Amino acid sequence: MTREASILNAATRVFAAAGYHGARMRQVAREAGVADGTVYLYFRGKRELFVSLFERGLAAFLAGLDDALASSSPALDALCAYHLGYLGARYELAVITQVEMRHSDPELREALGRIMRPYFDRIEGVVAGCDADVKVARRMVFGTLDENVTAWVRSGGGFALASLAPEVSRLLRRALGGDCR
């Protein structure tokens, strides 16, 4: 693992435990096993580190999602299974996405929103055949998935998040109607 990847992994653990505002760069350095200044060789500050964590995390998420969508049908089932399975296997990342995205400052929230846009585009592609406005359907799908992950995080990961995918997908297909793949 590269030093940068090690720092990002450490940042995930620190942000999940301390929150964005409570996390300190020196905590990330210690968790990564590097000198305090080493983190600054890769990231100018906490905001850049946090945004990079999301950029790289979403890139990995989308690569796997694209594979799942290409190899599974119906697409909505694949989307639900992938989203819930991915975060269900990454509790600390789920904590960050569910808690920290909502408590960050407006500028940071805007940056994270731009990072999320490619995922929203994929959801819109999945719901394009549904009997619903694409933007409303996208918000409904994402909101439903998001709320289930939030409930799982609040439970301390106390149930198998991925096991909810078939029912979530069934309910969404029924609600969205049409040729909702």
CATH superfamily of 51-176: Tetracycline Repressor, domain 2 (1.10.357.10)
Residues 53 and 131: beta-carbon distance below 8 Å: no
Q: Which of 3, 110, 99, 112 is nearest to 57 (CA)?
A: 112
Residues 180 and 173: beta-carbon distance below 8 Å: yes
> Does residue 23 come out as left (phi exceeding 0), alpha (psi in the -120 to 50 range) or beta?
beta
| Model confidence at 103: pLDDT above 70 | no
Task: State the pLDDT at residue 131.
Answer: 87
The span from the CA of 59 to the CA of 55, in Å, is 6
For residue range 39-87, list pLDDT tens digits in order: 999 999 999 999 999 999 999 999 999 999 999 889 999 999 999 999 9
Total-model pTM: 0.92
